[in-house]
Structure formats: structure tokens, C-alpha cells
Amino acid sequence: MELKITIPLQPVTKKNSQRIVRCGSYSKIMPSKRYVQYEKDCRYYLTRVEPPIAEQCEVTCLFYMKTRRKVDLTNLLEAVDDVLVKYGILEDDNSKIITSHDGSRVLYDPKFPRTEITIKTMN
């Protein structure tokens, strides 16, 4: 099986600009407000898979950024993996399901920033 998804939004990392939030007597680290909004906006471009993919697969992501600023590829991949799990595309983002991110890279497109995702199940 091969599934292709395009998210026509500027890619956002999950780890940059994390917030520390007080929850009663303890503190909790939360993702940035920008990431939280990105995660919500992604919902419109993702169609739930029934049942979610639970077999070994390769997830390839092409991140088209608006600027040439340096960005951490692994942080972008973590954000996409979490979004795919949250919206029911993948059952989990552990190494027994996502076995590879081969071919993933960061590219430049100032007019149409986006993330192109290809999920291939391993037979």
C-alpha cells in the first residue's frame, strides 16, 4: 500500500520554543503555540485510515520551507509523526511501525511551503 498526503502549510517543528506551564504544584513542558495551531490546522488535510496503519512502513517527508533558514530535519519528522498518530493515519510512531524515514529532506519553495508525505507499507 502507498499513501500520499500533502499538507499545504509551512512546516513547523515541535521542539522549538517549548513553553513551561504551571499545573498546580508542578510544571509541565508544552509545545509552542505555533506548533499547537499547526497540529490543529493539519486536521483538514488528513483523512483518517480505518484501521490506522499498524504494520511496518516507510514514511518519507519532503518539507518545502518558505525561507532558507536552517531547520532541524529530525524535529520536523517528529512533528509529522505525531500528527499522523494524532489523526489516526498511523497507530503509533514507534520503530516497529515506522521503520524508515529514508529520502526525507528539507527543500526550499517560497511560494508554496508544504509537506509532502509518502507512506509505503513494507511487505
Domains of the chain in start order, with CATH, are 2-121 (3.30.1330.70)
Please report the pLDDT score of residue 48 as a whole number: 80
Please report the pLDDT score of residue 16 as a whole number: 65
User: What single-letter amino acid sits at 66?
Assistant: K
Q: Digits of tens for pLDDT over the chain (123 positions)?
A: 899 999 999 999 877 666 577 777 877 777 778 888 999 999 999 988 889 999 999 999 999 999 999 999 999 999 999 999 999 999 999 999 999 999 999 999 999 999 999 999 987
Please report the pLDDT score of residue 62 as a whole number: 98
HEC per residue, the chain? CEEEEEECCCCCCCCCCCEEEEECCEEEEECCHHHHHHHHHHHHHCCCCCCCECCCEEEEEEEEECCCCCCCHHHHHHHHHHHHHHCCCECCCCCCCEEECCCCEEEECCCCCEEEEEEEECC
Please report the pLDDT score of residue 27 as a whole number: 79
Measured at the CA of 115, the angle between CA 41 and CA 39, to 5 degrees, comes to 25
109 CB contacts (<8 Å, ≥6 apart)? 64, 65, 66
